[in-house]
Structure 1
């Protein structure tokens, strides 16, 4: 009887040990698989030829599907001009991202003439996503400007341009161009007294609207 009891206990312990081994082996595979999946997603977004320096990334819905899309700005710091690249990815329901548009022209290179020369007068500041619109903001020596793009007609089309700058001698100039309506507002005033020098509104329709992948700031006529 004692021998039978001993045999039963031994078998039970052996089964427990085998079960534990299977449990740990299974969990290890799950953890490794999860890490690989997350790693692949990160690698998918970070793979690039030369553009390895992450400048910034923002999330927000750009195509009105309720998912948080992704916009990334990277820089090729090894190239002589240190160019920037903007990429926009649409989020998919399964958590992955699909590249929609990429441009190395929409943001001026940090050193347009090479690293032995001056930095760009239009230094990159940031990107933002709000109300389904992607905004690219640049800093000037005495001001700033921004371009707004909205996904429509199968492309990211330019719908707005805003610029504010000072001449360094007391005059502040503000310009806002709504490309959707064609309304352009131009206003200049003395920032020391508040006196308005110029305040005018004009209308100019540009069709078709410029596309993000083709647009070069201040080289394309607006």
Structure 2
């Protein structure tokens, strides 16, 4: 009886490093690291975010790895066309991991905080050009949506560039529990906030 075996060896094609950021994410006084790498073999050019946390022995250990949080550069649904957006930037400010991304007509920043053993989404700031809202002013109209997921308060402000007073401010309370974890977060979730 002859048996054939297939190797299930996973090949890591995320070989091109696009971003790296260092800072203290878990408030232990040691430098942690964020790395974004691109798979250069896959024609969609997917990206992987990895977060490494420092350990008491000084070494870094992989805490999170996600291929869902960043949109591929050439998504399948675009049939080989570029998605039109820069690869998101990551920053570490006062223990908060910030991810800044371009979106249609603007940008969005997500704040993740390391708590309860996970990186949880705590704040979203979305700025969009909203000239299609029907206002007749010749200046550009922007909508800024600030969503504090900890308190559940979401505030949208419509402003005209150059004017000191807001056109309209809308507030509502939306409780999201449990807070979204970075490893479960998908780039398409931008529509939720």
TM-score, length-scaled by structure 2: 0.82
Q: CA deviation at 1:199?
A: 0.8
* 3-state DSSP of counterpart to 1:213: helix
Higher strand share: 2
- Relative distance call for 1:200 and 1:116 in structure 2 (3 A) is closer
User: Aligned pair count?
Assistant: 175
Unmatched segments (≥5 aa) in structure 2: 1-10, 133-139
Question: Which region of structure 1 is more displaced relative to structure 2, 92-101 or 178-187?
Answer: 92-101
Q: Do structure 1's residue 196 and structure 2's residue 166 form an aligned pair?
A: yes
Which protein has greater RCO, CA pairs closer than 8 Å, 6+ apart? 2
Instruction: List aligned pairs for 1:182-221, cutoff 5 A.
Output: 182-193=152-163, 196-219=166-189, 221=192
Q: CA deviation at 1:207?
A: 0.5
Q: Is the 8 A contact 1:108 1:123 kept in 2?
A: no
* 3-state DSSP of counterpart to 1:52: strand
CA distance in structure 2 between the partners assigned to 1:175 and 1:118 by the alignment: 29
1:192-221 deviations in Å (ceiling 9; x for gaps): 545533212211111000111111134374
- Whose Rg is larger? 1
* 3-state DSSP of counterpart to 2:187: coil
CA distance in structure 2 between the partners assigned to 1:195 and 1:80 by the alignment: 47
- Relative distance call for 1:174 and 1:115 in structure 2 (3 A) is closer
TM-score, length-scaled by structure 1: 0.72
Q: CA deviation at 1:92?
A: 2.1
* 3-state DSSP of counterpart to 1:196: coil
Q: 2:17 aligns with which of 30, 54, 64?
A: 54
Q: How much is the aligned-residue C-alpha RMSD, in angstroms? A: 2.1
CA distance in structure 2 between the partners assigned to 1:64 and 1:192 by the alignment: 40
Q: Which residue of 2 aligns with 1:31?
A: none
CA distance in structure 2 between the partners assigned to 1:98 and 1:112 by the alignment: 30
Q: Do structure 1's residue 130 and structure 2's residue 100 form an aligned pair?
A: no
Q: Is the 8 A contact 1:189 1:195 kept in 2?
A: yes
Q: Is the 8 A contact 1:87 1:102 kept in 2?
A: yes
Q: CA deviation at 1:122?
A: 4.6
